[in-house]
Amino acid sequence: MKAYILSVDGTIRSPSLLQTLESFGIEVHVTSGSTPDKALKYVEVNPRSKFKSAKLNEYELACAYGHLQMHQESLSSGDQKAFFFEDDAYLNVDLFGSFLRSLSAMPKGLILLGTCGGIAWKASRFENLSLFRVFGNAVSGSHAYLADRNSIEMMVGKEKNLLNYADKFARPRSLDLYVRYPFVAFQIKENNPIILRESGQDTRSKLRREIAWLYHDCVEFYKFGFAGGRYIESVIKKSVVRRLVFKLPGCRD
């Protein structure tokens, strides 16, 4: 297995990340040089990226470009499966070890080891893996994730635009996305891993929750050209499964 770490200047902000990965025998490759200037130059020569990325600020563009670089490097190396980390990711050693022991049972697609929110439900056929499936095209960012080769190819796409980037995951509709909970990876904030809502349960009222879903659907349509379908699915699917849907906890930003 190989792990790619995104770092703007080549330094790793999370001191234990390299140590943890190497202790499990995982080969590490640091992807650096994803600066706002380089990202903007990339967008200028890729018209579709320019159109799709018009709503992103320079920092978001740089981060998106960095994830694209990691994906391209992985494809060039012939990886069948690889980990991708931002350099402020902190790994829980015990949970990461458990995750590695379950690799052979993991489904195809993208599996987030930490998340910045997202509507999901428990995937019953992966009950023993603590995996939740993110439904529709719900935006869900991540600082650490596992992806197989087919998923990476779908993320990159023929046009290599920055629409499919990890901080938002406005991913191709046919790409399955899962969340590992309890989380394996956290983001380092002031040298401490944090999580906003530890329980993972969304305690908002039904009305407020559906209004929030409708709002985010409108935002996604405005930014990306398609709606995530949170509100539509909440109205159409009135089932036991629907009642189990909740918003996962997330990081602060």
What pLDDT, on the 0 to 100 scale, is given for residue 146?
96
177: its two tokens: 């996305």
Would you say 31 and 56 are in contact if contact means Cβ atoms under 8 Å apart? no
Chain segment 132-143, per-residue pLDDT in tens: 887 665 656 788
Q: Please report which confidence band the pLDDT of residue 230 belongs to, taking 50, 70 and 90 as the band edges.
A: low
What ranges in the chain are assigned the alpha helix state H? 15-23, 36-44, 47-52, 58-77, 93-101, 149-156, 206-224, 230-236, 240-243
**What residue segments make up the domains of the chain, in order of their start?**
2-194
Residue 203: predicted pLDDT: 38
Q: In this predicted structure, what is the pLDDT of residue 150?
A: 94
- pLDDT number for residue 20: 96
Between 39-53, 91-105, 239-253, the lowest mean confidence (pLDDT) is in 239-253
Residue with the bigger pLDDT between 44 and 96: it is 96
Residue 253 scores a pLDDT above 70:
no
- Residue 128: per-residue pLDDT: 85
* 127 SS3 class: helix
pLDDT of res. 123? 76
Arithmetic mean of pLDDT over the chain:
76
pLDDT at 60: 77
* pTM of the complete model: 0.78
What type of residue sits at position 223?
K
User: What are the tens digits of pLDDT across the range 46-101?
Assistant: 766 554 544 567 787 888 889 999 999 999 999 999 999 999 899 999 999 999 99
Q: What percent of the chain has pLDDT over 90?
A: 32
pLDDT band at 126 (very low <50, low <70, confident <90, very high): confident
Lowest mean pLDDT among 74-88, 139-153, 159-173: 159-173
Rounded-to-integer distance, Cα 212 and Cα 180, Å = 24
Q: What is the DSSP pairing of strand 81-86 with strand 27-31?
A: unpaired
**Residue 110 per-residue DSSP state:** E
Pick the CATH number of 2-194 from 1.10.10, 1.10.1740, 3.30.1360, 3.90.550: 3.90.550
Name the more confident of 81 and 247.
81
Q: What is the arithmetic mean of pLDDT over 238-242? A: 48
In 3D space, the residue among 39, 96, 45 whose CA is nearest the CA of residue 63 turns out to be 39
Residue 154 vs residue 46, higher pLDDT: 154
pLDDT band at 204 (very low <50, low <70, confident <90, very high): very low
More confident residue, 109 or 197: 109
The pLDDT assigned to 48 comes to 60
DSSP code of residue 157: T
- Say whether pLDDT at 125 is over 60: yes
Angle at 141 between CA 172 and CA 161, to 5 degrees: 45
3-state SS, residue 245: coil
